[in-house]
Amino acid sequence: MEAIAHIHTDLPTKFGVPRQCGLVKALKGRIVFTPKYREPEALRGLEDFTHIWLIWEFSQAVRDEWSPTVRPPRLGGNIRMGVFATRSPFRPNFLGLSCVRLERVELCGREGPELYVSGVDLMDGTPIFDIKPYVPYSDSHPDARGGFTTRLADRTLRVSFPEEARAPFTEEQQAAIIGILERDPRPHYHTDPERVYGMPFAGYDIRFRVREGVAEILEAVRLEERNGGKG
């Protein structure tokens, strides 16, 4: 297989990427096709769908070996589950699957045909192997069971986002930051209320800590400044 496209998002690292697609609807992405696949005809009819499936690579998790069990961070990192009962990136073929909302199709974008999507759970630059339309009559299963994930779905934080930290971001980006922190991007075994975390987002380092169910954003520092001006 070869990548047909890459997605561009505001998240350059794994930390902060939502654990599932659709959880942070304000988080946007732009899909740019590789030169070989910049063919507008390949997108004919796609504009009639509201959602699409992305098949992509966990590019930061590629390794030579695999394990039949993994430790999902959402379970505290101490409980092992079968790899095929999880969505862990440490899989035999490192493939991810996401259903995202298709906001618009641009046949003559900055870099050829481009797709603009929302509700993404991919870091910037993730390779995409295939794109398929989401078909509601067959892809939707309202009576499905969620296994061990059911009891984890509703755990959220309140977010304190001071005005001075909001200043560098658009309203859409602010909503994305709030949505990410509401879902608590920390490993679940991290409980120190004094620990300060850094989340790279749109060229800034979002510094925050979590106390009594509240994610407190302390500051947003331009990454170039944090790296001593080296970028």
Q: Which of 139, 170, 205 is the last residue of a domain?
A: 139
Q: What is the pLDDT of residue 79?
A: 86
Instruction: Kindly state whether residue 88 falls inside one of the protein's structural domains.
Output: no
Nearest to 98 by CA among 125, 78, 117: 117
Classified as helix, coil or strand, 42 is helix
At residue 98, φ and ψ (nearest 5 deg) are -135, 140
Q: What is the pLDDT of residue 72?
A: 79
Q: Which of 115, 139, 163 is the last residue of a domain?
A: 139
Structural domain for 199, as ranges: 150-226
| Residue spans of the chain under pLDDT 70 | 76-77, 151-154, 225-231
pTM for the model stands at 0.90
Q: Do 158 and 116 share a structural domain?
A: no
Q: At residue 73, what is the residue type?
A: P
- What CA–CA distance (Å, rounded) separates 84 from 100? 22
Strands of the sheet with 214-222, listed across from one edge = 158-160, 214-222, 204-211, 197-201
Beta strand spans in 110-229 (E): 112-118, 127-133, 158-160, 197-201, 204-211, 214-222
Q: What is the pLDDT of residue 191?
A: 86
- On whether the CB atoms of residues 54 and 25 are closer than 8 A, the answer is no
Helix count and strand count (H, E) for the chain? 4, 12
Q: Do 156 and 135 share a structural domain?
A: no
Instruction: Kindly state whether residue 83 falls inside one of the protein's structural domains.
Output: no
- On whether the CB atoms of residues 125 and 8 are closer than 8 A, the answer is yes
Q: How many CA atoms lie within 13 A of 186 on its CB side?
A: 23
**pLDDT tens per residue across span 218-230:** 999 999 865 554 4
Beta bridge partners of 141: none
Q: Do 121 and 158 share a structural domain?
A: no
Q: What is the pLDDT of residue 62?
A: 81
Q: What is the pLDDT of residue 231?
A: 36
